[in-house]
Structure 1
Amino acid sequence: MTSEQSPDPESASEQTNAPRRAGFAYAFGRMLITPLARMVYRPRVEGRENVPKDGPVIFASNHLSFIDSIAIPVAAPRPVHFLAKSSYFEGTGFRGALSRIFFTSIGAIPVRRGAGQAALDALDQQKQLLDDGLTVALYPEGTRSDDGRLYKGRTGVAFLALETGAPVVPVGLIGTDRMMPRGAKMPSLRVRVTVKFGEPLDLSTHGAASSGRARRQATDDIMAAIHALSGQELAGVYNEPPAHTPIEKIKQALPHERR
């Protein structure tokens, strides 16, 4: 998973080592970057009191812009971890160092894209963070919405919640697509975004993580809560790249679980 993707076999990490925890760079970033970002961009934040003060938490958010992965850590009352493309951490020279410092300071954990076992490794990284009582931020849609609609959720987030028992705090982001649309190099100072934290969801009543039906029902509950916060038009389909080959078209047409 990248900062634009939920944990699914199509895009995730190849890393098997334990995820890095927030250290000095993140503490420094929260002390310096967070107040500065709040002062400059003046985000409207609602529902901070809904975020549990301790214990594991999964932030499940809609996804409209690259800046979503900055807006959530800036607005959240607790440190937030999320998986980001390893390329953000691998640059050379001054720009590479600046990129590493910045993404580390906002709680990003580097992962490589992959499939199959790599997807399971990404889920394992997030599970380790939750088992340690930390927080993770995920996008159930899988990738950002280019048309502003809210797409169907993939079940990876629900799997983590059911597997770990962590409560899910739904997040509704409004205006991030106008603040920093796809292709923009810098966020606009003329747009204010809204970050809404909903009440925690206890999904354990749906059953075990091993049940596909439980994962689907839990995912639908998560997406309904996000929709109530964001007010987006519902797409009613998964946000998937266009199928270019007959095999890809068949795979998308056949019923299967999107994780």
Structure 2
Amino acid sequence: MIVRNEEAVLERCLDSVAELVDEIILVDTGSTDDTKKIASKFSAKIYDFPWRDDFSAARNYAVAQAVGDYWFWLDADDVVEGENREKLRRILAHPDADVVFLPYQLSFDEDGKPQMISCRERIFRRSVKFQWEGAVHEAIVPRGKVRYGDAAISHRKIGAGSPDRNLHIYQQKLMRGENFSPQRTVLLRQRTVRPPCLSGSTSGTGTVFAGWKGLGTGLHGSVSALRKLLPKTETAGAGAEKPAACAGIRCADAGALL
């Protein structure tokens, strides 16, 4: 996990998975609250990592601390609830794949029924040496044997996040003269596009949905805003096509969800 000032949600998250894993690795990027104190209650291995406007850098540092055969990631405002804990226990006992995708419940109705579900890469064989890519909306390109499990992770965010966080990161990258374009991120996302999770199904490497041509809407909007701030910096735009309805599951906007 990578965290900063997560005292409001961290205990809930760790309490839901502590007995399912062999070790808890927590990388703190600058907390000023009781985040570390809460993590210590769960015997977490706590590391400090100076924030550098790059989510992948922090996540890859966390992954480098793992020693088990597999590693599994969560955000602090994620939680494993109800029957999904036993489902996750079974999957972690026998991952039987290089990458395991799990359902990610992102929003809920008044009755608590999931209204928006994605499918995220969650469990990885450590010997394959997977790496996160992307300073924002980071992802891992899957390869090898891929499995889709049925243990859902619930995203239970409390309060609003920083609306300008990602824009600030893009702005800093451009001010440092780093060249990037929406197309590069679209290609990465195209290779990691997540279909509805089908328990037990597997596939080899390669594009899962070749027909999903673009996921650049949100990034394109951010880069367009940055061009107004830094007009001398060249950036490339990209259109985006939304996927068809995901087997009856409401699909999130590419830029917001991914």
Q: TM-score by structure 1 length?
A: 0.34
Larger % of strand: which? 2
Larger % of helix: which? 1
Q: TM-score by structure 2 length?
A: 0.34
Which of 1 and 2 has greater Rg? 2
